[in-house]
């Protein structure tokens, strides 16, 4: 009997302990591997890269000079005055437009290209959050499967012990049936947990765009990290790493640049040119050469055109740009307040989740393990009946399951703190 109970205690201590297991990769390392594989050929990332490339091409176009015009004019007038016939003009004209306006257009295009480049960051961040959540689910389901595997083994040892006592006439058959029920319950929960583990791995592979076989090795358990960064540190990291806030700042800068651009709309436009002419029979001519003479000439031109009307339209454009600038600034301020609120709420949830993990690790689980060892000795020497053993076993089984759920809650809470910096995806940042 003592050998059987030694096996019972050994099985109890061999039950999976997420806090003690050590898997090869960490959760962050596994997610990084998943992310690299998922981003390879990701359609959303490819689309974002092409849009960013198109925006860079618009930067090259913005503020560029208009096309240079090459002109050739020839004429011959068959009039009674032959010296008036014959003229050939070759000219090159370059519209310069408004130089200050071109610089403003380049600035706006550059800011819009930087904003377009954020789209790939949105794709990466959203995919990373999705993969991390799915990976946490897969690791949690695997830990639950190992938990029920351990509980099944422990229930089988309890059943063997109770059966042995029944055969020795020290326990009624009802206790054997109760022990058998606990074994079947653990076995059925193990089967269910295994199905859920496989489903979670399939869901993770689907989110990553991989096959289940191509998934990297996942950690054996979720981390039981009790460290909670200070709230101010989380707020600083959230504000600095927020893509939404960065985009709002870019929108504000773009609106400001458009306002300066509207103010330059009334600037003069410039055009320069260079001309070469071949002139025939252009008076005065030599009286001895009745048909006239030929001559060449060149010239340069500079034209300036200043808009006289349209002032109301330009003022309206400036008012529009200023209003958009104020609206972008208001949106940025609102977004910053929302990020602070979301990070603070998520930080409070993280503190509560980590506290729940600590309660199990420091209090309930050690006490239940100690009680399980004690009731084993008492049951051996007829100082406790089977109901005490089953009660402690059930409490230990439930507490370990709750502990795994607490680890899952703490992992989800850490994701919530990270995701709080970007309350919603940017427009056009679809994956």
Residue 81 phi, psi (nearest 5): -105, 95
Q: Other CB atoms closer than 10 Å to residue 228's CB: what's the count? A: 18
Instruction: Report CA torsion sign: 251, 255, 256, 261.
Output: positive
Is 338 part of any domain? yes
Task: Flag whether 7 is in a domain.
Answer: yes
Q: How far apart are CA 108 and CA 112, in angstroms?
A: 6
Query: Tens digits of per-residue pLDDT, 389-405?
Result: 889 988 999 999 999 99
427, part of any domain: no
Question: Do the beta carbons of residue 282 and residue 295 sit within 8 Å?
Answer: yes
Asked whether the CA dihedral 258, 261, 262, 263 is positive or negative, the reply is positive
pLDDT tens track for 336-370: 999 999 999 999 999 999 999 999 988 889 999 89
Spatial separation of the C-alpha atoms in residues 72 and 278, rounded to whole Å:
11
Amino acid 349: pLDDT: 94
Q: Is 381 within 8 Å of 311 (Cβ atoms)?
A: no
Asked whether residue 430 is assigned to any structural domain, the reply reads no
Distance, CA of 158 to CA of 182 (rounded, Å): 9
Q: Give the model confidence (pLDDT) of 51-88 as tens digits.
A: 888 888 888 888 777 888 888 877 665 544 444 546 77
Indicate whether 431 belongs to any domain. Answer: no
Q: Write out pLDDT tens, residues 230-253.
A: 999 999 999 998 988 888 898 888
Give the structural domain span for 277.
2-419
Q: How confident is the model at residue 4, as a pLDDT? A: 41
Can you name the residues that pair with 275 across neighbouring β-strands? 91, 299
Residue 220 lies inside a defined structural domain of this protein: yes
- Listed in sequence order, the DSSP H helices in 168-269 are 173-208, 231-241, 243-263
pLDDT above 90 covers what percent of the chain?
29
Cβ distance 49 to 63 under 8 Å? no
For residue 334, the model assigns a pLDDT of 92
**Torsion angle of the four alpha carbons 55, 58, 60, 66, in this order, in degrees rounded to the nearest 10:** 180
Which has the closest alpha carbon to 228: 128, 349, 360? 349
Residue 387: Cβ-neighbour burial (10 angstroms; 0-12, 13-18, 19+): exposed
Note the pLDDT of residue 336: 92
- The count of structural domains within the chain is 1
Rounded CA gap, 341 and 367, in Å?
39
Residue 265 lies in a domain: yes
Quote the pLDDT of residue 10: 39
Q: How remote is the C-alpha of 128 from its chain's centroid?
A: 6
The answer to whether position 148 is within a domain reads yes
Distance in angstroms (rounded) separating the CA atoms of residues 10 and 152: 14
What does the angle CA 181 – CA 187 – CA 189 come to, to the nearest 5 degrees?
105
CATH, residue 211: 1.20.1600.10
- Per-residue pLDDT tens digits for 369-392: 899 888 877 876 777 888 888 899
**What distance in Å separates the CA atoms of residue 181 and residue 80, rounded to the nearest whole number?**
126
Beta carbons within 8 Å of 263's beta carbon, 6+ residues apart: 318
DSSP 3-state helix, strand, coil percentages of the chain (rounded to 5)?
A: 70, 10, 25
**Residue 103: which pLDDT band, with cuts at 50, 70 and 90?**
confident
């Amino acid at each position: 009997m003592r050998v059987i109970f030694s096996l019972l205690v050994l099985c109890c201590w061999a039950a999976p302990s997420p806090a003690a297991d050590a898997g090869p990769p960490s959760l962050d390392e596994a997610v990084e591997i998943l992310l690299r594989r998922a981003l390879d050929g990701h359609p959303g990332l490819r689309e974002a890269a092409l849009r960013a490339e198109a925006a860079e091409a618009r930067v090259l176009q913005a503020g560029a000079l208009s096309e240079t015009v090459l002109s050739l004019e020839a004429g011959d007038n068959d009039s009674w005055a032959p010296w008036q016939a014959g003229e050939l003009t070759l000219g090159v004209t370059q519209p310069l437009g408004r130089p200050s306006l071109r610089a403003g257009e380049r600035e706006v295009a550059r800011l819009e290209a930087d904003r377009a480049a954020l789209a790939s960051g949105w794709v990466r961040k959203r995919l990373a959050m999705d993969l991390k959540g799915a990976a946490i689910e897969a690791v949690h389901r695997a830990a639950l499967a190992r938990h029920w595997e351990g509980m099944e083994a422990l229930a089988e040892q309890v059943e063997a012990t109770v059966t042995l006592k029944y055969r020795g006439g020290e326990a009624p058959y009802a206790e054997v049936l109760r022990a058998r029920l606990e074994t079947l319950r653990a076995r059925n929960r193990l089967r269910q947990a295994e199905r859920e583990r496989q489903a979670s791995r399939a869901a993770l592979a689907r989110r990553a765009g991989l096959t289940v076989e191509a998934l990297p090795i996942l950690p054996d358990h979720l981390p039981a990290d009790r460290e909670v960064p200070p709230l101010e540190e989380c707020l600083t990291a959230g504000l600095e790493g927020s893509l939404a806030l960065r985009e709002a700042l870019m929108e504000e800068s773009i609106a400001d640049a458009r306002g300066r651009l509207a103010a330059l709309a009334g600037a003069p436009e410039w055009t320069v040119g260079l001309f070469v002419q071949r002139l025939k029979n252009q008076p005065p001519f030599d009286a001895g050469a009745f048909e006239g003479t030929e001559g060449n000439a060149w010239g340069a031109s500079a034209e300036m055109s200043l808009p006289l009307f349209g002032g109301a339209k330009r003022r309206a454009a400036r008012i529009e740009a200023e209003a958009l600038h104020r609206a972008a600034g208001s949106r940025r301020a609102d977004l910053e307040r929302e990020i602070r609120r979301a990070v603070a709420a998520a930080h409070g949830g993280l503190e509560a989740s980590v506290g729940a993990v600590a309660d199990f690790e420091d209090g309930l689980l050690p006490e239940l393990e100690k009680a399980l060892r004690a009731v084993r000795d008492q049951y051996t020497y007829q100082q406790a009946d089977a109901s005490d053993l089953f009660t402690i076993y059930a409490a230990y089984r439930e507490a370990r399951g709750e502990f795994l759920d607490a680890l899952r809650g703490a992992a989800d809470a850490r994701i919530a703190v990270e995701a709080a910096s970007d309350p919603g995806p940017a427009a056009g940042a679809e994956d």
